[in-house]
Amino acid sequence: MFTYVREGGGSAAVLPFKAFGDDNTRQEVAGMSNDSNVNIEGLGFNWDVKRGRFQYENQDAVLFWINSAMKSFFDTIEEVSGEEASNLVLETTGYRQGLVVGDYFRKIKDFD
């Protein structure tokens, strides 16, 4: 699957490239090579367009629009599970993710 990142409203989206036509059109629209590496203040981001793979610090990652895609994701959990159950799930998930992310940043030597 090919992917393309489009910035908008301060957030980013992951879109299927098939909407943009052939390989030449995709690369022209995307404005990037098949493999782009960016280092932002010591943190590495890699975008392998040919494979449709985005990585943050050499780990597979995803990008979402915060105000629409993530909101829809959380709203659906609440709609299906109910407010009380979804609050428990989100609280527990947030705690567990906090442990993983906190552990990662503790291992970075020069992180302030």
Q: What is the pLDDT of residue 108?
A: 79
pLDDT at 61: 92
User: Does 27 share its domain with 55?
Assistant: yes
Segment 67-112, tens digit of pLDDT: 999 999 999 999 999 999 999 999 999 999 999 989 988 887 666 5
Predicted local distance difference test score (pLDDT) of residue 109:
66
Number of domains the chain is built from: 2
Co-location of 15 and 54 in the same domain: yes
Task: Find out whether 110 and 42 touch, Cβ atoms under 8 Å.
Answer: yes
Q: Are residues 48 and 75 in the same domain?
A: no
DSSP state of 20: G
Domain enclosing residue 39, as ranges: 3-60
* pLDDT, tens digit (0-9, with 9 covering 90-100), for 24-50: 434 444 455 566 899 998 889 999 988
- Say what the pLDDT of residue 34 is: 65
